[in-house]
Structure 1
Amino acid sequence: MKKILIINNEKDKDDFGWIPIIKEAISKIEETKFVVIHHSEISKESLDEINPDLIYATGRVTYDWTIEEILKDYDAELKMFQNTAIPTIGVCAGHQLMAIAYGATFGKMVETAEDEETIRETGFQDIEIIKNAPLFKDLDNRFRCYELHRDEVKSIPDNFELLASTEMCKIQAMKHKNKNLYGVQFHPEQYNDQNLDGKVILTNLLNLTNVE
């Protein structure tokens, strides 16, 4: 049975954000063992003790943050992204953290006035594959996944390649050139019977491990 480490990227330890949805979405595909830790609890010792087959770094419901907060409070996670050889996906905020760990920047997709809605890409959106990868096996050139974000990664980090884009957000998916590190701006865990591409992506993600 695969062991999946879910890293909770919410500001507060008691806020589990997307995690119940992630667990349910993956459990519909296959039986796995989940271990959840808050990003502040990451260390070499904790990772060695858990010894996961796959790492899933979550998005954040509390999406309003600054680069100063990230560099101060998420330092352990940034180092994990830099050093891990374990197959890993960063989703939404996790995607942005992965990019920052490798020297990229992030920011709002669109600058908004004080009274304007800041979330600019929401609901199921069409995403275009720019370069195929194992994560997209069995998908068409365009697929649909759920979006909920105002920020985006502004440039592809060193040693990464662009995999997918939307009209509004260029860097929807990226992969490290030499490791199974994927960052996706969309939420594959938020699929339904009418929109199953996220389920295909999660199935492909589980297949990145060598564990039966």
Structure 2
Amino acid sequence: MNFPATLQLENGIKLNGIGHGAKKVGVGEVVFNTAITGYQEILTDPSYDGQIITFTYPHIGNTGINAEDNESATISARGLIVKNFCEQPSNWRADRTLNDFLLQQNVICISDIDTRYLTKLLRDEGCKIGAIYPSKEINDEEASFEIKKFGKIEDHNLIENVAVKKSYTYAKASNSPKVIALDFGVKENILRILKNKGAEIIVVPSTTSAKDIQKLSPDGIFLSNGPGDPNVLPDVVSQIKEMMDLNLPIFGICLGHQLMSLAYGLSITKMPFGHHGANHPVHDLKNNVVYITSQNHNFAVANIANKSDLNVTHISLFDNSIQGIEHLEQPFYSIQCHPEASPGPREFENMFDRFFEEMNAKKK
């Protein structure tokens, strides 16, 4: 059953709409995503933990939910904001509605919101902490208290909510590169691509030490995507520094890219409203090629000034922010955007090939 709902932002703005899914309070950092398709993959991307997603595309839920497209077992987003919420999907792959999925996952949604107004506000003023709540059960003062209690996204170690607590083998293979994947909130399609390219994959917790990784005799180390601010993870950064002494290829995506950058001694800063979408152009500076990429981050590497052993390989054509870094003397490289897509274009998937080339070269 639908219900009256309200979106309240930390600046006091309130927008009334129609609630769907769980009748509860959802609190988080409100961001906007410009992707036209792929809402299921977006909602289940662990990188969205701690955030409420505003979809700029006006119709959400049209294709329902299916059993194959989740990027993790749960919805990581704290809530979603849409213009038009479809309750009767039409798609041959769908096995349930978006509303059913939200109820199962205990997540709230608000629809009939002017998402163009909200997106412009977030673009002009930056991301806001907000709350979605059933307006007949929760009053505005109670919601305001929840917003203040949440604080800022920078106050939270969000990978504790999404990363595995115990190691597991994702894929077995013989005579193939063995990849140790540090899980900060890894997406399913990343592991799937590594598997399809022939890797043996062991997924380990984010707290795994370099010494324990070395005991597994890997051919390469992968640092996954994940939610939140990398600056709140100094212990992880210290371990990555030690991993860099193992003389193994290291490849990082998204949060993994930022953590590698901190290990290099670089600075990570908060972006005004981040990059969230599936049509972000990225310039490959080495090959002078432009890729259209999927992106999801609110933090970025500031610069690589005074680092003669590092090279910027990719930049965003939206704002010139750093999108890729390589080490000139070691087999380390990382990328800010999502070459695995899900959702989005797959043309940047060749970024995984270099990782395998580096590992195979080390094995010889």
**TM (normalized to structure 1)?**
0.77
Q: Who is 2:329 aligned against? A: 178
Alignment CA distance shift 1:97-1:197 (3 Å) = same
User: Max radius of gyration: which structure?
Assistant: 2
AA of the residue aligned to 2:179: I
8 A contact 1:8–1:19 mirrored in 2: no
TM-superposed deviation, 1:124: 3.4
Checking the alignment, whether the CA contact within 8 Å between 1:131 and 1:162 is kept in structure 2 is no
Output the amino acid matched with 2:215. E
In the alignment, is the contact (CA less than 8 A) between 1:120 and 1:149 conserved in 2?
yes
Tell me by how many angstroms 1:26 deviates. 2.2
Q: Which residue in the other structure is 1:168 paired with?
A: 319
- For the residues of structure 2 that align with 1:18 and 1:169, how far apart are their CA atoms? 26
Q: Are residues 1:122 and 2:122 paired?
A: no
CA separation in 2, counterparts of 1:48 and 1:96?
Answer: 22
Find the aligned partners of 1:35 and 1:92 in 2 and give their Cα distance.
Answer: 20
Match of 1:107 in 2: 269
Distance 1:73 1:57, change over 3 A: closer
Match in the other structure for 1:77: 240
Q: Does 1:88 align with 2:250?
A: yes
Offset of 1:129 from its aligned partner?
Answer: 1.4
- Is the 1:39–1:76 contact (alpha carbons within 8 Å) kept by the matching residues of 2? no
Alpha-carbon shift at residue 38 of structure 1 (Å): 1.2
Corresponding residue of 2:149: none
In structure 2, runs of 5+ residues without a counterpart are: 1-175
RMSD: 2.3
Match of residue 149, structure 1, among 293, 297, 302? 297
Show the counterpart of 1:58.
Answer: 224
Q: Which residue of 2 aligns with 1:8?
A: 183
Does the C-alpha gap of structure 1 residues 207 and 76 become closer, same or farther in structure 2, counting only changes over 3 Å?
Answer: same
- Is the contact between residue 78 and residue 97 of structure 1 (CA under 8 Å) also seen in structure 2? no
Change (3 A) 1:169 1:128: same
Whether the aligned pair in 2 keeps the contact of 1:122 and 1:149 (CA below 8 Å) is no
Match of 2:214 in 1: 48
Q: Give the percent of matched residue pairs that are identical in Structure 1 and Structure 2.
A: 20
Deviation of residue 199 (structure 1)?
A: 2.2
CA distance in 2, matches of 1:77, 1:41: 10
**Highest RCO, 1 vs 2 (Cα 8 Å, sep ≥ 6):** 1
1:27 is displaced (CA, Å) by 2.5
- Tell me which amino acid in the other structure corresponds to 2:314: A
Q: Which residue identity is paired with 2:253?
A: V
- Residue 182 of structure 2 aligns to a residue in which SS? strand
Per the TM alignment, residue 73 of structure 1 is displaced from its structure 2 partner at its CA by 5.0
> Match of 2:220, as an amino acid?
L
Partner of 1:26: 194
Q: Which runs of 5+ in 1 are unaligned?
A: 10-16, 111-117, 133-139
Cα drift, residue 145 of structure 1:
2.2
Aligned amino acid, residue 41 of structure 1: T
CA contact (8 A) 2:293 2:348 kept: yes
Tell me: CA distance 1:66–1:90, structure 2 relative to 1, closer, same or farther (3 Å): closer
The structure where strand makes up a greater share of residues is 2
